[in-house]
Amino acid sequence: MMRIVCRGLRPARSGATGSGFLCQNSVHRILYFFVEGIVRTHVASAVASLALCIGLLGPSQMMAQGLFGTISGTVTDSSGAAVSGASVKVTDIDTGISKVLITNTAGIYSADSLNPGTYRVEAGAKGFKTAIAKGILLEVGANPKVDLTLSPGAVTETVEVTASNTAIVQSQQSDLGQTVNEKNLQELPTVRNVFAGFLTLAAGVSQQKSCQGCGDNNNVRINGDRPRTQDYVLDGTTVVQPVFGGQALSPSVDSIQEFRIEQNSMSAEYGKAGGGVFIALTKSGTNAFHGSAYAYTQNRNLDARNYFDTNPTKNPFDNNDFGGTVGGPILKNKLFFFVDYEAIRSHGASPNLGNQVPDAAFRSGDLGALCTAAGGTFDGAGNCSASGGQIADPVTHANVPFNRIPSGSLSAISQNLLALLPTATAPGSVTGANTFNFNQPLSTSSNNFNPRVDYNPTSKDHIFGAFHRTGYSQKGFDIIVGPAGETDLVGPTYASTIGWTRTLSTAMLNDFRFGYMHRAIDRGANGQGHTSPSDFGLTGIPNCLTSIPNSAGGKKCGTLQVTINSFAGLAGGETLYEPATTLQFGDIVTKLAGRHNIKTGAEFRHYSINNYQPNAVDGNFSFDGSQTGNAFGDFLFGTLAKGGHVQVQNAYVSSRAWSYNFFVQDDFKLSAKLTLNLGLRWQYDQSFREIHHGDAFYEPCAVLFTHGTCVPHWEQFGVNAPETPFDPSKKQFEPRIGFAWNPRGGFVVRGGYGIMHPGAIGHGRAGDGEPGPNLLANTQFNAGTNWGNLGAITSPDPANITAPIPASYFPNYNPWAPRSQYPTYIQLWNFSVQQQLDPNTVAQIGYVGSHGTHLPINYGYNICQQSRATTSWSNLTTTPYCPAAAAAVVANGGNTYNLTVFPGYWGLSSSVYNSLQAQVDHRFSRGFSLLANFTWSKLIDDSSADWGGFWSLDVLGQDFYDRRAERSVSAGDIPKRLTLAPVVELPFGPGKRWLNSGIGSEILGGWRVSSIYTISSGSPFGITDNNYGYCSPARTITNRPNLIGNPLPSGFQQTVGRNGLWFDRSVMDFSGTCPAAGLTNLTGPSDATKGFGDAPRYYSNIRNPILNNFDFSLQKDFRIPVEQIRLAFSADFFNLANHPQFGEPVSDPLNTDFGRVLSTGPANRVIQLGLHLYF
Architecture of domain 71-169: Sandwich (2.60)
According to the model, what pLDDT value does residue 1089 have? 42
Region 153-181: what's the mean pLDDT? 75
Contact status, residue 1145 vs residue 1062, Cβ threshold 8 Å: yes
Residues of the chain above pLDDT 70, percent: 79
CA–CA dist 605, 684 (Å, integer): 10
Burial class (CB in 10 A: 0-12, 13-18, 19+), 638: buried
- CA trace torsion 993, 999, 1004, 1005 (10° rounding): 60
CA angle in degrees (0–180, nearest 5) for 839-842-843: 150
Contact status, residue 612 vs residue 574, Cβ threshold 8 Å: no
CA–CA dist 1066, 260 (Å, integer): 48
Residue 1162 Cα distances to 209, 334, 1105, 1139, 1142, angstroms: 7, 47, 12, 10, 8
Q: What pTM did the predictor assign?
A: 0.85
Burial class (CB in 10 A: 0-12, 13-18, 19+), 309: middle
CA–CA dist 1124, 627 (Å, integer): 78
Strand (E) or helix (H) holding 113: strand 108-114
CA–CA dist 879, 894 (Å, integer): 9
CA–CA dist 956, 857 (Å, integer): 7
Contact status, residue 724 vs residue 717, Cβ threshold 8 Å: yes
Coil vs helix vs strand at 536: helix
Model confidence pLDDT, tens digit, residues 653-685: 888 999 999 999 999 999 989 999 999 999 999
Strand (E) or helix (H) holding 598: strand 596-611
Q: Could you tell me which of 865, 925, 1015 has the C-alpha nearest to residue 200? A: 1015
Residue 894 clears pLDDT 60, i.e. is over it: no
According to the model, what pLDDT value does residue 517 have? 94
- 989 falls in which pLDDT band (50, 70, 90)? confident
- Residue type for position 1131: A
Question: Three-state SS across 206-266?
Answer: EECCCCCCCCECCCEEECCCCCCCCEEEECCEECECCCCCEECCCCCHHHEEEEEEEEECC
Strand order in the sheet with 713-716: 713-716, 695-699, 770-771
The separation between CA 510 and the C-alpha centre of its own chain, rounded to angstroms, equals 32
CA–CA dist 800, 288 (Å, integer): 63
Q: How many CB atoms lie within 10 A of CB 621?
A: 29
Domain ranges of the chain: 9-53, 71-169, 178-284, 354-436
Contact status, residue 273 vs residue 758, Cβ threshold 8 Å: yes
Q: Could you tell me which of 269, 276, 200, 194 has the C-alpha nearest to residue 236? A: 269
- Burial of 91-121, coded b for 16+ CB within 10 Å and e otherwise, reads bbebbebbbebebbebbbbbbbbbbbbebbb
CA–CA dist 349, 256 (Å, integer): 32
What residues contact 945, with CB distance under 8 A and at least 6 apart?
211, 212, 213, 214, 226, 227, 952, 954, 955, 971
According to the model, what pLDDT value does residue 226 have? 84
According to the model, what pLDDT value does residue 817 have? 67
According to the model, what pLDDT value does residue 240 have? 86
Coil vs helix vs strand at 913: strand
CA–CA dist 971, 1019 (Å, integer): 6
Of 65-74, 374-383, 861-870, which one has max mean pLDDT? Answer: 374-383
Region 32-46: what's the mean pLDDT? 36
Contact status, residue 510 vs residue 55, Cβ threshold 8 Å: yes
Does residue 211 or residue 1160 have the better pLDDT? 1160
Contact status, residue 550 vs residue 492, Cβ threshold 8 Å: no
Architecture of domain 178-284: Beta Complex (2.170)
Residue 873 clears pLDDT 80, i.e. is over it: no
Of 743-752, 759-768, 810-819, which one has max mean pLDDT? Answer: 743-752
Strand (E) or helix (H) holding 682: strand 674-685
Residue 900 Cα distances to 812, 857, 956, 1031, angstroms: 12, 18, 14, 12
- E-strand ranges in 901-992 read 903-925, 928-941, 968-969, 976-985
- 59 falls in which pLDDT band (50, 70, 90)? very low
Q: How many CA atoms lie within 13 A of 92 on its CB side?
A: 28
Q: Bridge partners of 681?
A: 663, 734
Burial class (CB in 10 A: 0-12, 13-18, 19+), 340: buried
CA–CA dist 879, 862 (Å, integer): 7
Q: Could you tell me which of 350, 791, 419 has the C-alpha nearest to residue 570? A: 419
Burial class (CB in 10 A: 0-12, 13-18, 19+), 808: exposed
Q: Could you tell me which of 852, 970, 940 has the C-alpha nearest to residue 274? A: 852
Model confidence pLDDT, tens digit, residues 912-930: 999 999 999 998 888 899 9
According to the model, what pLDDT value does residue 623 have? 96
Coil vs helix vs strand at 88: strand
According to the model, what pLDDT value does residue 875 have? 34
Contact status, residue 953 vs residue 1024, Cβ threshold 8 Å: yes
Which of 161-175, 402-416, 559-573, 644-658 has the weakest average pLDDT? 161-175
According to the model, what pLDDT value does residue 763 have? 42
Residue 103 clears pLDDT 60, i.e. is over it: yes
Radius of gyration of the chain (CA): 33
Quote the DSSP letter at residue 1053. P
Model confidence pLDDT, tens digit, residues 505-556: 988 999 999 999 999 888 878 887 778 888 889 888 876 655 555 544 446 7
CA–CA dist 139, 257 (Å, integer): 10
Residues of the chain above pLDDT 90, percent: 42
Model confidence pLDDT, tens digit, residues 221-237: 899 998 778 888 999 89
Residue 1130 clears pLDDT 80, i.e. is over it: yes
CA–CA dist 1036, 957 (Å, integer): 8
Tell me what the pLDDT averaged over the chain comes to. 81
Q: How many CB atoms lie within 10 A of CB 1027?
A: 16
Q: How many CB atoms lie within 10 A of CB 618?
A: 29
Burial class (CB in 10 A: 0-12, 13-18, 19+), 159: middle
